[in-house]
Structure 1
């Protein structure tokens, strides 16, 4: 009595691909028949023809997207709703348009008159939007409020169709022979049933109103959600808001074709984007592979319809259809190849053109001007060339990240609510529709819940996030080699919806890694060179510091002692011959000059004030002496105490600040000068600005050249020139490669730059 599984009745859910193909074929045939009828029915009423034509703007995107979803996820109701709506509307419009065409040519049949009433299905695309919104994103109606909306929509659709098909309609139709006839409903014309059925058409505005409320529910869910849930819901919310903006145009029948086309595209696009971008139903990879066929289908269908309409108007319907079929066949092959190329480049970058990816990487590397930017340029170029979400370069051995583009994080998905629900989700949704149509078997399930609780339940149930969704993705790694030595590891993550990189991706990444290896090695050598140069300069400055300390602590006191001894000798010989006094005076002058020269040497090696007062205090003391007697008001600023700096950096900051102030005092014609010192983001910065006239010519001199050389030695940058407010000098010194050392503070406070001495 009971058959095996293979003997059971065929079900669309168990054979989704044939079902999707059948629904798509019905929709395509219906659209073709409708277009042909409209093209050949010269005397059909304009308003009916316009309404039928504008409704086709919904049928095409609904049919394509719906068939795709049915084939890939038959457990979800969205594909069935879209493709079923497209098929029903296409058939209804095809019958109605052919009936109009036949009646306009003189045919007289009650069946044709009733066929015109099938144009009532034109409100179904808008009604289906409400059914989708009330189930989005999980595919199930999960709250009491949602169930109420669902029942109202189903009841409104049923009543609206009944009113349209049974109502006592009448319409004046112009025929080809110039006469006018009145057509109506042959079943209920002049009856009480027909008049009563006309009242049921009031349900159609109710369906539109309930659909708007269902859309606002999506907006509220998106507003309350956070993180990934909000990203996944906001696209549908954007579509709802934009559709509401079009509602006044639709209500006033302004530009109906453009409004319907925009609304249909907004609905399908904002439904597909979460699938594609946020892996809403885990089919974004399939969408990428099928997008080319969708594009070519739309293109060929458009060419077929345009060719059929144009040739039919000139040569007749039969010639028009044959010509359109030939044109579509000729266009299909090239259009498919071009569509595949465009889609592949949009989603996968230059994966199919490795030479272009290599040229792009080479071009970007050639444009790198500053040291330290090569690694960042490599990862950015690789990510852009292949549309990868994460690319990094790791250090061989310890795996530390040297540069990266993008972030490693779990994939963004709306969770396994849908994946785990499986067939049950679609089954539940379908049961809701059927049960509601029959009177509603779920009433009272949540009788005590209010609207706020229902909305919260929607957020919890519809937007559950699987935090570990990206745990199974496999990172690809390729060694970066130069002269047989590993200099880095190129790391790449697969795209959203993919668990691993395919063979073509790996081949291109291997080629890019081979080319990038030499650039990474050159970058490492450049960094080492800059670091070694900084170490050399630092060693030189440390030696100068030591020399200054030795001269100051050794030779300086010795010469001072000589002078004291000579003073004592002169005192004892005061009463004797005068000639010895003159000799002693000259000796005293010589010793004083030696001390002055020694101080000059010491100061040129390293300003003693740097060790006594620190770099800020040394600059402040020096520029204060320079500004004495000058009309320039000089101020030194620093937001905080500077940390211990390398000796070379301290000297460079001091010299450049002093040289900058000297230029301001001598040449700028300024009234105020500000020196600012700071350490931020691993750099020591000195800035000298003045309010001198900006129109004065700037000619680089010896001081400017010396400053540039000093900055270049430490791997820094120098900016100098006029601004709208006056002159500006800014020097930046990197501290990352320079060791920090606390300079000694042992020198006596009287040490300083040489001054003129008064003879005793």
Structure 2
């Protein structure tokens, strides 16, 4: 029975009972109204109102749950579904809404995969241009300044050496940016070496103490899984430096029953009730590509824990594979 007929039926039942009482019961209304008669009428009205309220509460409860889910649903946290009642006028509506959520989650995952794939390709292109063009130009300028400083008189030599030092610092910064955009050590030496280099570089530039707990003997991971793990670790450490006001952080990577767990903890002020920013949502989008789970929780003793659980066995994506990285000459040991 649909919701309309259930509400209509109960109202008809209550009104019919009231009409029958007025027609056949020996109850009359005096003029002026006697106190006993007024009490009976008010009691009947109260019974009618309570019965209607109870039916509406029961009948419209699935709609209220649906409304709450519609206002709080987040496609970056898949799996939010409403149970379909066995006998309810809104069962078909809830089934349609659940199907719509599933379709939207699939479309969001596919579009995110394409966007992130294009983003990684663009990062590789910019990193190659920084390394091959800007880096080589700064190197040529550095060599020219060195030759000029060696031949210049003493008053001018000091200025040229200062310009040479500034150029060297700029060259190091360009190389650091290129490494962040395109982690060549990840492609050349693997995930453990890349995370070690990332933690060392982060500690050197922020002054925070980073404790590494990286296990060897991890299960085989494809290139996409390693890249997601590296990018999430990169973004997690960056968020600690920007917002946590922490003194130390722990970067851990370990094997679990069904995959690999990346965990980053800090001793900062915690996440609090603030709304998630673009960095955290970007990490959630990357986790969706692998069917992974990303949890961000505040620690009881203070600080924040970020945990990414990546399954080793996952279904093949429906979208096209990410474009291959453009070939570029390997960086030397100093640049890595």
TM-score normalised per structure 2: 0.55
Q: 1:710 aligns with which of 239, 262, 282?
A: 282
Q: 1:698 aligns with which of 261, 270, 273?
A: 270
Q: Tell me whether 1:688 sits opposite 2:248 in the alignment.
A: no
C-alpha separation between the residues in 1 aligned to 2:100 and 2:59? 18
Q: Tell me whether 1:540 sits opposite 2:141 in the alignment.
A: no
Q: What do the CA deviations read for 1:296-318 (whole angstroms, capped 9, x no partner)?
A: xxxxxxxxxxxxxxxxxxxxxxx
Q: Tell me whether 1:567 sits opposite 2:146 in the alignment.
A: yes
Contact kept? 1:711, 1:718, Cα under 8 Å: no
C-alpha separation between the residues in 2 aligned to 1:699 and 1:725? 9
Q: What do the CA deviations read for 1:374-418 (whole angstroms, capped 9, x no partner)?
A: 6x65xx62xx617xxxxxxxxxxxxxxxxxxxxxxxxxxxxxxxx
Sort the Cα spacing of 1:728 and 1:552 in 2 relative to 1 into closer, same or farther, 3 A: same
Mapping of residues 615-694 of structure 1, within 5 Å? 615-624=191-200, 633-637=211-215, 639-645=218-224, 649-659=228-238, 667=246, 673=250, 675-676=252-253, 685-689=261-265
Q: 2:136 aligns with which of 542, 550, 557?
A: 557
C-alpha separation between the residues in 1 aligned to 2:156 and 2:240? 48
Sort the Cα spacing of 1:661 and 1:641 in 2 relative to 1 into closer, same or farther, 3 A: farther
Q: What do the CA deviations read for 1:417-442 (whole angstroms, capped 9, x no partner)?
A: xxxxxxxxxxxxxxxxxxxxxxxxxx
Q: 1:721 aligns with which of 275, 288, 298?
A: 298
Q: 2:79 aligns with which of 373, 381, 385?
A: 373
Partner of residue 747, structure 1: 330
Q: Which has the larger radius of gyration?
A: 1
Gaps of 5+ in 1: 1-354, 387-507, 754-760
Gaps of 5+ in 2: 1-55
Partner of residue 86, structure 2: 385
C-alpha separation between the residues in 1 aligned to 2:209 and 2:226? 33
Q: What do the CA deviations read for 1:102-153 (whole angstroms, capped 9, x no partner)?
A: xxxxxxxxxxxxxxxxxxxxxxxxxxxxxxxxxxxxxxxxxxxxxxxxxxxx
Contact kept? 1:624, 1:634, Cα under 8 Å: no
Mapping of residues 260-659 of structure 1, within 5 Å? 362=63, 365-366=66-67, 369=73, 371=75, 372-373=78-79, 377=82, 381=84, 385=86, 512-513=91-92, 516-571=95-150, 573=151, 577-578=153-154, 581-582=157-158, 584-624=160-200, 633-637=211-215, 639-645=218-224, 649-659=228-238
Cα root mean square deviation, aligned: 4.9
C-alpha separation between the residues in 1 aligned to 2:255 and 2:61? 39
Q: What do the CA deviations read for 1:456-493 (whole angstroms, capped 9, x no partner)?
A: xxxxxxxxxxxxxxxxxxxxxxxxxxxxxxxxxxxxxx
C-alpha separation between the residues in 1 aligned to 2:178 and 2:210? 29
Sort the Cα spacing of 1:541 and 1:674 in 2 relative to 1 into closer, same or farther, 3 A: closer
Q: How many Å apart are 1:592 and its aligned residue?
A: 2.0
Partner of residue 295, structure 1: none
TM-score normalised per structure 1: 0.28
C-alpha separation between the residues in 1 aligned to 2:236 and 2:323? 21
C-alpha separation between the residues in 1 aligned to 2:307 and 2:160? 52
Q: How many Å apart are 1:658 and its aligned residue?
A: 3.0
C-alpha separation between the residues in 1 aligned to 2:179 and 2:59? 55
Q: How many Å apart are 1:729 and its aligned residue?
A: 2.3
| 3-state SS of paired residue (2:215) | strand
Higher relative contact order (CA 8 A, sep 6+): 2
Contact kept? 2:297, 2:305, Cα under 8 Å: yes
Q: How many Å apart are 1:722 and its aligned residue?
A: 0.8
Contact kept? 1:685, 1:732, Cα under 8 Å: yes
Q: How many Å apart are 1:595 and its aligned residue?
A: 1.3
Q: Tell me whether 1:730 sits opposite 2:307 in the alignment.
A: yes
Partner of residue 268, structure 1: none
C-alpha separation between the residues in 1 aligned to 2:59 and 2:260? 38
| 3-state SS of paired residue (1:634) | strand
Sort the Cα spacing of 1:560 and 1:669 in 2 relative to 1 into closer, same or farther, 3 A: closer
How many correspondences in the alignment?
A: 261
C-alpha separation between the residues in 1 aligned to 2:333 and 2:115? 31
Q: How many Å apart are 1:552 and its aligned residue?
A: 0.7
C-alpha separation between the residues in 2 aligned to 1:541 and 1:679? 28
Sort the Cα spacing of 1:553 and 1:367 in 2 relative to 1 into closer, same or farther, 3 A: same
Q: How many Å apart are 1:524 and its aligned residue?
A: 0.9
Sort the Cα spacing of 1:723 and 1:676 in 2 relative to 1 into closer, same or farther, 3 A: farther
Sort the Cα spacing of 1:362 and 1:650 in 2 relative to 1 into closer, same or farther, 3 A: same
Contact kept? 2:194, 2:230, Cα under 8 Å: no
Partner of residue 425, structure 1: none
C-alpha separation between the residues in 2 aligned to 1:590 and 1:621? 25
C-alpha separation between the residues in 2 aligned to 1:635 and 1:654? 13
C-alpha separation between the residues in 1 aligned to 2:199 and 2:100? 45
Q: What do the CA deviations read for 1:572-597 (whole angstroms, capped 9, x no partner)?
A: x36xx446645643553353243134
Q: What do the CA deviations read for 1:526-582 (whole angstroms, capped 9, x no partner)?
A: 4313431342133122201111012212221232133224434554x36xx446645
Q: What do the CA deviations read for 1:615-646 (whole angstroms, capped 9, x no partner)?
A: 33211233356679988753223633432116
C-alpha separation between the residues in 2 aligned to 1:630 and 1:515? 50
